[in-house]
């Protein structure tokens, strides 16, 4: 795996760790069983699928546009290079479909969700397991707020829908899912529970902000931010939403 891919895989594994407990809770609530056929759309290097395989889910399938990421994935299940907006499966091929940090990046999230619903059997669930909303972020003190603001702008510039979290409910409603639940991944946002939240994101920030801010200013802001962090005065938080809804049982007649 190239060092670039290792960097992203490590990042995706970290994110899959943030959402692990919520994922297990949701799967338990809606009764996803180890024998169900599950598809993850936008599965990237397979961090979530790896985690599901460790939990014992046996019938997994990953789809992504990025062939190099798929080839790097160290997983035993099918990993298919395809567009999430035109899934190469017939209707009702899977028990449930899911995505994780995907809808904010796809060019038309409504079509992607419609495709997920189409390939899910009636009565199965469509799950968006993690979609952030950068409009709801909280960062303090000032140095962190400035870095956060720059990062949000950089992500928008890279093509992310920075408000995807808040859009989930309307998207799920629009595609006709039933029994829709929407929530926010519980997070510890500071103090002893999460003293290094900002420091964990430093490398990502450095990449996101390249070209937007000169290195000297970046280092100065990071230095102030690290001081705030070590003195337990900082907060670095982005709400991450999830949603799940059921494909109507009479969808295919």
| Minimum CB distance to ligand SAM smaller for 36 or for 40 | 40
Least separation, in Å, of the C-beta of 13 and ligand SAM? 8
Query: What is the Cα–Cα distance from 40 to 114, expressed in whole angstroms?
Result: 14
Distance of CA 251 to the CA centre of its chain: 27
Nearest residue to 201 (alpha-carbon basis) of 110, 123, 118, 139:
139
Least separation, in Å, of the C-beta of 164 and ligand SAM? 11
DSSP letter at 138 equals E
| Minimum CB distance to ligand SAM smaller for 103 or for 221 | 103
| Residue number of the CB atom closest to ligand SAM | 44
Nearest residue to 172 (alpha-carbon basis) of 242, 91, 243:
243
| Minimum CB distance to ligand SAM smaller for 126 or for 221 | 126
Binding residues for ligand SAM, per CB under 6 A?
12, 15-16, 42-44, 47-48, 63-66, 69, 83-85, 100-102, 105-106
Least separation, in Å, of the C-beta of 158 and ligand SAM? 11
Least separation, in Å, of the C-beta of 115 and ligand SAM? 9
Report the helix count and the strand count for the chain, using DSSP H and E. 10, 9
| Minimum CB distance to ligand SAM smaller for 41 or for 247 | 41
| Minimum CB distance to ligand SAM smaller for 207 or for 249 | 207
| Minimum CB distance to ligand SAM smaller for 83 or for 226 | 83
Least separation, in Å, of the C-beta of 78 and ligand SAM? 14
Beta strands in the chain (DSSP E): 37-41, 59-64, 79-81, 96-99, 125-132, 138-140, 178-184, 235-237, 240-246
| Minimum CB distance to ligand SAM smaller for 18 or for 181 | 18
- Phi and psi of 217, rounded to 5°? -65, -40
The SS3 assignment for 63 reads: strand
């Amino acid at each position: 795996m190239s060092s670039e891919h290792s960097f992203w895989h490590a990042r995706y594994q970290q994110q899959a760790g943030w959402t692990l407990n919520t994922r297990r809770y949701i799967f338990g609530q809606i009764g996803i069983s180890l024998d169900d056929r599950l598809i993850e759309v936008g599965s990237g290097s397979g961090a979530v699928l790896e985690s599901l395989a460790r939990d014992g889910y046996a019938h997994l399938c990953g789809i992504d546009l990025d062939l190099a990421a798929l080839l790097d994935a160290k997983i035993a299940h099918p990993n298919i290079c395809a567009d999430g907006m035109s899934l190469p499966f017939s209707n009702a091929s899977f028990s449930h479909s899911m995505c994780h940090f995907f809808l904010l990046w796809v060019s038309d999230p409504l079509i992607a969700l419609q495709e997920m619903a189409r390939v899910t059997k009636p009565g199965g669930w469509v799950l968006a397991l993690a979609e952030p909303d950068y409009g709801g972020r909280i960062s303090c003190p000032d140095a962190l707020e400035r870095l956060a603001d720059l990062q949000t702008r950089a992500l928008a510039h890279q093509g992310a829908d920075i408000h995807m979290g808040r859009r989930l409910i309307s998207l799920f409603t629009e595609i006709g899912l039933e029994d829709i639940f929407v929530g926010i991944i519980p997070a510890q946002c500071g103090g002893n529970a999460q003293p290094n939240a900002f420091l964990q994101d430093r490398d990502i920030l450095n990449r996101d902000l390249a070209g937007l801010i000169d290195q000297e200013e970046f280092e100065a802001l990071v230095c102030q931010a690290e001081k705030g962090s070590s003195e337990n005065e900082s907060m670095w938080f982005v709400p991450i939403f999830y949603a799940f809804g059921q494909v109507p049982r009479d969808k295919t007649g």
